[in-house]
Structure 1
Amino acid sequence: MSGVDESTAFAALRGQLQDAATEFADGPDALEGILLGIVDDVDRAVREPLEIFPVCHHSPASAVAMARRLREKQPKVVYLELCEDMAPLLQELRNCRLPVAVQAFASEVKGFPAEWAPLSVVAPITEASAEYQAIAYALDTPGVELVLVDRSSDHVFQWQADTVDPPDQDAPPAEEEAALHGDAVGVEIGDLRPRFAELEEHLLHHGRVRHWSEWWHQYVELPLGDSDHDTYRQVMLLIGSLFRRLAPGDADRVRVDEDRERYMWTRMREHLGATGTDPQDCLYVCGAFHAASRVEEFGVHGSGTFEISPPSESTWQHGLIPSSHSAIEAQFGLAAGSVSIAATQWAKNLKRTRVRPYRLAGQAGARKTATSGKAAAPAVPAAPEAPSDKLSGFLQSPPALDRLDEAELLGWSVEIVRSARRNGYLASTADAIAVFETSILLAGMRDRARPTPYDFQDAAVTCIEKETVPGRRDVRRLVEILMGGDRIGQVGYDALPPLARDVHDRLAPLNLKLQQRGVQRALLDLSTQQELRRCSDVLWMLRRLMPHGAARPIMGERELGKQSVQESWDLALGTHQRALIELGYEGVSIEQVLEQRLRRVAYAPNATTAQVLAAVEDAELHLRGGRLADELGTRALEVLATERSVDGAPEVLRRVRRLLAYYRIGRPELPAWIESFAKTGYAHYCTLLPTAFTDEDATVRQVAAMLGFLFSMESLALSLGCDRTQLDLAFAQSHPQEPSRVALLWAARVHLGQLSRAELRERCDALLDNPLVVPAYPRYLSGFLHALEPVPQLADFVVEAVSNAFARLPDPVLLPWLPKLITTLRSEGADLAPLLIREAGRVFPGRLAALDAWVPPWQAAHEAPALPPATTGGAAGRAVLLAAHPETCDSLAKLLGCEDTWETQAATPTTGAVLTARHPETAGALEALLAGV
């Protein structure tokens, strides 16, 4: 540095601020610590041997100043405020179309709360940003080194573990473009915004603007767009110091900010010491808030006492994900459309200042320029100059009055009316004129010589929308699109992780542009093109792993034992590219990722039997079962043995039935785990059955599912060694009181033969005859309806029970009782109602004319003539019955292996007695069967 006295650099500014403090605060002491401290911060940063370049996040003025300074200084080392572990990914930016975000992702979390998983950190990068200019310069200029010096992604969560809550998993989903970053924690270069709410409110009020983005655009962005380097630096340092000194005293946040600054300066001094680089050949790019730092480690001559804590044991993966203007605005709290307006302002600045920006060679989506990818001529090193005071002149100069560009404003007005008409608004030329004049009027009311895009947006909403939104987009959104639109980035094929590239390769036979955004239709004829079956397998796995809409089947299904001949899919892999990239952080193939997720679900501490069985089913569907399905099935058996509730009984019953049917058809023998599951489940539910019948927390549907499991698995369980006595004891100990459970118990006993249909019919008749019980009769019907799950053969009886209620109850009782019956059946048995409706359709006549002569089957059975006295008992009665029904006897004789023929003599008791004597067991069985009917 030159020998100029440091105290004289900003002496004039210090004197002016002291006079202002004395005049407005009745003495210099009130504001001296703030106003003079700001000047000290600026002076300290400007005199630092290692040049500090303060920036603001996604600021066109910062980007233009950065491009201009890089061409002037040509630094050999660029220190950048960005997570140091993201450095290897920056080379892949040339394979992408901006905006994109550099992401660090950790699915295996160690050292952090488990509910935080997965951890994700993103750093969005746009072309109109200072960080991109620095990256492009460093990567495409030979001999230049780019060093990222900010805390690592792991330290982001280490330092914020006590100050940041985990992402809200129940938050409402954002719009598609705004959700591109997911639940990631965003890091940015230059988080420059007042942290003192009253200060921001004061600035917005006196600036006559609605939000911070508009204030920044009007009072900082536009004035600094044409300023020289020294003015830009000092103004940005002034703003950073002002916001820092007026920030509220949040100890945790202050600690994190200061630790970041200590971290960065420690890393820079380590690099300077290791490489021997002259600080004059370096450039430190950081946010203006951190440039005005007061920590002891500040500067190349600062103290080196800061100790960097070791990273946690979490495994971090890194990659690039697509970003968008709206995603950046949503994550960092910017006004909607502000990033698009910044992109438009960036293009204007380049055209006006003729600054040549830096772009990575081969950058997708970037316009080619004469200097793209070429290194500029090395700058001639100049002797360091003492800092001069540029703040005084900037603060005292009146704002530049930019004349009205009528052609630009007129073009905006015409285009917004044309866009509004396309979106359903009844806009006309008169509205275009109104928007034009209102924009000028609003700018004048806000002391602006030229309407800003925000003034134009307000004018368009006022003149066109008129408090109605007839179209798909409102006018404010149409203005954002007009100003540049929501540009959405894309990660190129070469920058994708191996899993994503493998998915694209395996889906290549579909001949679709999978990286293109939007929905594409894929038609698969699996009968004639066998190679498409592999594509089908990939699509079904993507449907299982990715968000809804990424791969959506239109035609075709995949169930156990079924495979479609043709399939039709709606694919939007380009739209959901972030989700596909994050799958690549979990494995190298989708099969591996699916297996890991199934294991994670099955071995979770709170896993239920139904969830594990669902994992078994997915393993059979997508991974062809085998070892994994057997392992997960064994895990389901372990979970079942530990459950003490019946909450998941319906789902367990549904899935185990489906798996059992699949194994019986597709395998020569059942897997060992499902045999053990049937045996263990039989004993388990027999044990829980008495408690479930009386437990208020257990629903009737859950108890019915338990009975369904016991009845459907009974034959298999008994063949494997279970004892039927367990079930008998369980029913003997079951004493429910609630009507629906009582009806369910009656139906189950009918299935077991402990209760005949005649007895059940008598009990229902008794319920209808008792006026005190009639109001509760719908609950009995609900129990009978749920009984169709374990005892589907009772469907005709349930129809009879409902019909008897309508036939026997008088209207004064039936009409008030009918709404309760309908709501009960709808809420508690909607899934079983189709079975009841089919049975009613079979029983009742199909035509109205036949209804008058129709006799219900249950009444016809009661009115049937009684058998002769000789048939009521003894061998003679049985002989007459057998002679009257020879076909039944022939069928039973053939089943038993009897080859005797009927005698030709007339059927007499003696002949029947001879046949009965030969087969007494058959006669006894028939007698018992007919007695039950």
Structure 2
Amino acid sequence: MSTAHIFGIRHHGPGSARSLRRALEELQPDLVLVEGPPDADALLPLLAHEEMQLPAALLIYAADEPGRAVYYPFADFSPETVAIRHALSRALPVWFMDLPVSHSLAWEARIQADLQVVGREAGEAPREVSGNTPQQDATDLPLPDSTRLLIRRDPLSALAEAAGFTDGERWWEFLVESRGGNDSSVFEAITEAMKALREEVEAPGPEGAAFSWETHLEECREAHMRQTLRAAQKEGFSRIAVVCGAWHAPALQGGQASTDARLLKTLPKIKVRATWVPWTHGRLARESGYGAGVDSPGWYQHLFGTEGDVLAPWMTRTARLLREEGLDASSASVIEAVRLAGTLATLRGQALPGLQDVTEAARAVFCWDSDLPMRLIHERLVVGETLGRVPQDTPAVPLAQHLAAEQKRLRLKPEALARDLDLDLRKDTDLERSALLHRLHLLGVAWGEERRVSGARGTFREAWRLQWHPEFALRLIEASLWGQTVGEAAEACAAERARHEEKLPKLTALLDQVILAALPGAARLVLRQLSGEAANASDVTHLMQALPPLARVMRYGDVRGTDSAQAGEVFRTLLVRACIGLPPACASLDDDAAGEMRTHLGEVHAAVTLLQHEEHTASWTDALHSLATLSGGHGLIHGRATRLLLDLGELNPADVEVRLKQALAGVNPPSRVAAWLEGFLEGSGLVLVHDARLLGLIDDWLVGLSGDAFQEVLPLLRRTFTRFPAPERRTLGERIRSGEVRALHTRAEELDAERAALVLPVVAQLLGLEVMA
């Protein structure tokens, strides 16, 4: 006689896993059925492979649209893992029994299409909802009862509330995890509790209750599980172990085969593919996007993997972590924390300490009055960032296989924790590492984040921060349509982007990327596209934004063996056109537009000075002279152009003093003067540190302002001067306070009687006065 033994478990629960392992050893089943996707049955043997290191996840995706995918994570402490490995180690058949992903993904796509109809204008003719659902007006789909839906999604929280707990996580830990996981009879109690809860939820609702897509899909899932169980019984298996989520356990007992068959008959279906991908403990957390997550995977891994006393090893790991970070944590503290956690558990009536007891004990003993050590403990131990590994013969797209080979060849191991990597581009291996990281960026796989290094960007050094995320596996699958290797895929992707991009700044940024990624074919294509767009571009800001990336290509192209001649010609064309159009573009700007233009001026100036090309510098200098004296121009632009000319050596201090006096003249409103000073002094106040006369002029102007005018310009001046480095601000303040600046300024302004006598006759004649001999 065939008997099904149903074990309702909690996904990723170490207590459930321990109890299940004991129950399976007692039952000795001849078939194991596990809630999971049958699309991945062929991949189950890999879970027992010696190279498999959990956590890992089954990734199942639509063959024609890889972006539509589902993850099924597994950890060592997952009851599903225990069940599958029990069967594999004994050469027993093991099947997944949940609704195939080929159906659920197609069903979700149908829901998306149907919900687009919900927003149609009222009065449209009714329609029939796809699938085995009632006919109703698409504009009249009220939300399902929120309470019932919430209980279905998180039944543990509902039971926890009834038991007086604040959340389902803590309730389940008290009920199951803290029991040590050696009592197989707990499954009967779980099933009974879920049965009562389901009866409450599934009681008849108000007449005309709304149809719920989510509930209907759940019914299909449970119908498929029952059908799988019936098929196993027909094949003659006598002791069948069924491992499923606790919520589904009562639903697998009974049901009509004909009803289930009709329910499943009309389900849509698409073609899917499956593989294993590395996962992390952090992604097992509740907020990781997987509905059956847990808050403390690191703690659960410790519970499952530690026999006997779990407190002392945990507190020892805590102390070791804190000492590695330079924090005080002695052996005596470990002993005290263990005692305190045990006492807290006793006071709460628990057989074993739970995470709450352990956390409170660690906070009291190790953390003193700071939460920072507790955050470290939570991130590194309670959650953890362990990264799994899958066997080499796991099915994967060629692009992912090539990347794995490149990672091994270049000794770049993917890790869940962030680590820094410094590259010297004069070394062949480091140059190839840089190219690989930049190519992955083009493909949307941001494994590395480039960091700033001292000195100019793009020299022989690069600094990266590497951190591997599990979702990169899906992005590699999506990117595989571009090519079979990382280089081929990145080049094809860049070429396609170049063909459809018309904005100069984005084209030049793309050129910079493909140069760094060592993709000469794509670089030539981008340059051709860039040349064509440059001939037609008229927006001055776009021309200016396009120049800095081109300058980097020209300046540092030789480091990567790139021919930058064509880029140089494009740069010259864009710069000339930008310089011609710059004065008209800067006329009549408001404050926001002037601020943006000032930023562009600084970027183009840096690009021109980077190249040190005589022709480019001459064109740029002429444009700056035009801006500095532009009639009707914004004060911010005038001041910035004047400062850039001073930096280029085109103006001497005396010239700057004349222009500053003109800017400070009383005919100019205080706000315009403040804007001029902001543009002139942006970034550094050294020009005032070294020139007391300029500082004195500004000091005199500021002292002479009225109260209202001072209040008007104060925010602008504060913003300007607070951006100076602290040593510069301190030096300026000391000079003003000492009176040194005023003394120097006064001496500089002393009257020259001989020079004054030369203009007196002219002044007298203008005033109609008699000229005295």
With normalisation by structure 2, the TM-score equals 0.64
Residue type of the partner of 1:55?
I
For residues 202 and 147 of structure 1, the distance between their equivalents in structure 2, rounded to whole angstroms, comes to: 28
Residues 613 and 655 of structure 1 are in contact (CA less than 8 Å); yes or no, is this contact kept in structure 2? yes
Q: Contact 2:23 / 2:184 at 8 angstroms: preserved in 1?
A: no
Verify: 1:327 aligned to 2:223, yes or no.
no
Q: Secondary structure at the match of 2:374?
A: coil
What are the ranges of 5 or more consecutive residues in structure 2 without an aligned counterpart? Answer: 117-147, 609-614, 733-739, 759-773
**Could you report, residue by residue, the CA deviation over 1:101-146 in whole angstroms, capped at 9, with x for unpaired residues?**
2224679959xxxxxxx55532111233332234335555557363
Task: Give distance in 1, aligned partners of 2:258 and 2:515.
Answer: 62
Q: Choose from 442, 447, 454 the match for 2:348.
A: 442
Q: Distance in 1 between matches of 2:376 and 2:556?
A: 56
- Kindly indicate whether the alpha-carbon contact (under 8 Å) linking 2:56 and 2:280 is maintained by their aligned counterparts in 1: yes
- The one-letter amino acid paired with 1:472 is P
- After superposition, give the CA deviation of every residue in 1:255-288 in whole Å (9 maximum; x if it has no partner): 2233243256458759988997458686654334
User: Partners in 1 of 2:213 and 2:714 — Cα distance?
Assistant: 65
Higher Cα Rg, which structure:
1
Give the Cα separation in 2 of the matches to 1:253 and 1:347: 47
Maintained 8 Å contact 2:60/2:101: no
The DSSP-based 3-state class of the residue aligned with 1:226 is: coil
Q: Supply the distance in 1 between the matched residues of 2:299 and 2:54 (Cα, whole angstroms).
A: 13
Aligned residue for 1:99? 55
Partner in structure 1 of residue 266 of structure 2 = 307
Query: Does the aligned pair in 2 maintain the 1:431–1:464 contact within 8 Å?
Result: yes
Q: Confirm or deny: 8 A CA contact 1:519 1:570 kept in the other structure.
A: no
Superposed CA offset, 1:844-863 (max 9, x none): xxxx99x9799999x99x99
Compared CA separation, residues 664 and 135, structure 1 to 2 (3 A): closer
Deviation, structure 1 residue 785: 6.5
Indicate the residue corresponding to 2:370 in structure 1.
469
Aligned CA distance change for structure 1 residues 108 and 630 (closer, same or farther; 3 Å): farther
Partner of 2:354: 453
Distance 1:164 1:558, change over 3 A: farther
Q: 2:479 aligns with which of 586, 605, 612?
A: 586
In 1, Cα distance between equivalents of 2:597 and 2:253: 64
Classify 1:317/1:286 alpha carbon distance in 2 versus 1 (closer, same or farther; 3 Å): closer
Q: How does 1:687-766 map to 2 (within 5 A)?
A: 690=584, 692-696=586-590, 697-702=592-597, 705=600, 736=632, 738-741=634-637, 765-766=661-662
Offset of residue 779 of structure 1? 2.0
> Residue in 2 aligned with 1:621?
516
How far 1:616 moved relative to its partner?
0.4
Partner of 2:551, secondary structure, is helix
Deviation at 1:623, TM superposition (A): 1.7
Alpha-carbon distance in structure 2 between the residues aligned to 1:132 and 1:830? 59
Equivalence for 1:57: 11
Q: Kindly provide the amino acid, as one letter, of the partner of residue 98 in structure 1.
A: L
Structure 2 CA distance for aligned equivalents of residues 704 and 486 of structure 1: 41
1:302 Cα shift? 3.4
Give the Cα separation in 2 of the matches to 1:455 and 1:417: 15
Q: Does 1:780 align with 2:676?
A: yes
1:498-897 correspondence runs (5 A) = 499=399, 502-503=402-403, 505-506=405-406, 514=413, 533-535=431-433, 537-538=435-436, 550=448, 562-563=459-460, 579=472, 582-583=475-476, 586-587=479-480, 588-595=484-491, 598=494, 602=498, 608-625=503-520, 627-636=521-530, 650-661=544-555, 670-671=565-566, 675=569, 679=573, 690=584, 692-696=586-590, 697-702=592-597, 705=600, 736=632, 738-741=634-637, 765-770=661-666, 773=669, 776-783=672-679, 802=694, 805-806=697-698, 809=701, 811-813=703-705, 822-823=717-718, 825=720
CA offset digits 1:526-566 (Å, max 9, x no partner): 76x75665455446656887888857779899966x545xx
User: Matches of 2:157 and 2:474 in 1, distance apart?
Assistant: 41
Q: Distance in 2 between the 1:555 and 1:740 partners?
A: 30
Partner of 1:472, secondary structure, is helix
CA distance change for structure 1 residues 290 and 215 in 2, over 3 Å: closer, same or farther? same
In 1: Cα distance, 2:473 partner to 2:454 partner: 23
Whether contact under 8 Å (1:649, 1:705) holds in the other structure is no
Distance 1:120 1:852, change over 3 A: same
**8 A contact 1:296–1:302 mirrored in 2:** no
Quote the offset at 1:742 in angstroms: 5.7
Distance 2:367 2:675 in 1: 55
Give the alignment's Cα RMSD to 1 decimal. Answer: 6.6
Q: Could you tell me how far apart the structure 2 residues matched to 1:708 and 1:501 are?
A: 41
Aligned-residue offset at 1:622: 1.9
Instruction: Name the residue aligned to 1:358.
Output: none
Taking the aligned partners of 1:144 and 1:272, their CA distance within structure 2 comes to 16
Shift of 1:652: 2.3
Q: Which runs of 5+ in 1 are unaligned?
A: 2-47, 111-117, 166-191, 349-406, 714-718, 789-794, 841-847, 867-933
Q: Secondary structure at the match of 2:479?
A: coil
1:740–1:782 contact (8 Å) kept in structure 2: yes
User: Does the aligned pair in 2 maintain the 1:99–1:323 contact within 8 Å?
Assistant: yes
Cα gap change, 1:326/1:51 in structure 2, threshold over 3 Å: closer, same or farther? Answer: same
Contact residue 319 and residue 581 of structure 1 kept, 8 A: no
Q: Find the aligned partners of 2:376 and 2:660 in 1 and give their Cα distance.
A: 66
Structure with greater helix share of residues: 2
What SS does the aligned partner of 2:267 have?
coil
CA distance in 1 between counterparts of 2:149 and 2:176 reads 12
* Preserved contact between residue 82 and residue 151 of structure 1 (Cα < 8 Å): no
Percentage identity across aligned positions? 14
**TM-score for the superposition, normalised by structure 1:** 0.55
Quote the offset at 1:619 in angstroms.
0.9
Amino acid at match of 1:287: G
AA aligned to 1:632 is V
Tell me which amino acid in the other structure corresponds to 2:365.
Answer: I
Matches within 5 A, 1:136-215: 136-137=85-86, 139=88, 142=91, 144=93, 146-148=95-97, 149-152=99-102, 154-155=105-106, 157-158=108-109, 161=112, 195=151, 203-204=159-160, 207-215=163-171
Aligned residues of 2:547 and 2:574 also touching (Cα < 8 A): no
Matched, 1:289 2:247: yes
Distance 1:746 1:257 in 2: 70
User: 1:457 corresponds to which letter in structure 2?
Assistant: V
CA drift of 1:215 comes to 1.6
Q: Which residue of 2 aligns with 1:903?
A: none
Q: SS state of the match for residue 151, structure 2?
A: coil
Report the Cα distance in structure 2 between the residues aligned to 1:108 and 1:736, rounded to whole angstroms.
59
Q: Distance in 2 between matches of 1:432 and 1:474?
A: 19
Contact 2:449–2:466, Cα closer than 8 Å, also in 1: yes
Amino acid aligned to 2:80: E
State the secondary structure of the residue aligned to 2:373.
Answer: coil
Q: 1:238 aligns with which of 195, 199, 214?
A: 195
SS in structure 2 at match of 1:286: strand
Matched, 1:424 2:332: no
Judge conservation of contact 1:545–1:594 (CA < 8 Å) in 2: yes
Residue type of the alignment partner of 1:58: H
- Counterpart-to-counterpart distance in 2, 1:700 and 1:99: 50
Residue 309 of structure 1: how far off its partner (Å) = 1.9
Residues 552-602 of structure 1, C-alpha deviations (whole Å, 9 max, x = no match):
779899966x545xx8x77756x6576478546634433245335545765
